[in-house]
Amino acid sequence: MKHTVEVNGIKLYAFHGCLPEEGKIGGNYIVDVSITTDFSKAALSDNLKETIDYVFVNAIVKEEMAVRSKLIEHVGQRIVQRIKSELQLAESIMVKVIKVCPPINGDVNNVAIIIED
């Protein structure tokens, strides 16, 4: 059976970007994670070990977002790789990293990347 566990709207302050100022000043980010799995056993047993622990997913995102990258593509890929390597129940993963109010000389709410694995 196919199920999905989502952790959406993880709000973080981080220091990603190609401009030197972004490394010093930082900015706001939002991360969404969607993991396809089979949590049939957990639905019957009420046992956290038989599903995706969204507290752990949140911790992975926070840890990887704390490591400075020039590109949100890079940090997004690190999040995907960590989830793949540390959560064996994950069948497929989607990570969306949103950079709020990017410094791109325009009136833009955000930019985002999406990685599906």
Output helix, strand, coil percentages for the chain, rounded to the nearest 5: 35, 35, 30
CB of 3 within 8 A of CB of 54?
Answer: no
**Catalytic status, residue 99:** yes
Specify the pTM.
Answer: 0.96
- Tens place of pLDDT per residue across the chain (117 aa): 899 999 999 999 999 999 999 999 999 999 999 999 999 999 999 999 999 999 999 999 999 999 999 999 999 999 999 999 999 999 999 999 999 999 998 899 999 999 999
Structural domain for 73, as ranges: 3-116
> What's the total number of domains in the chain?
1
Output the pLDDT for position 9.
Answer: 98
Cα separation of the two ends of the chain: 19
CATH code of residue 91: 3.30.1130.10
Residue closest to 10 by CA, chosen among 98, 74, 71: 98
Output the pLDDT for position 74.
Answer: 98
Output the pLDDT for position 62.
Answer: 98
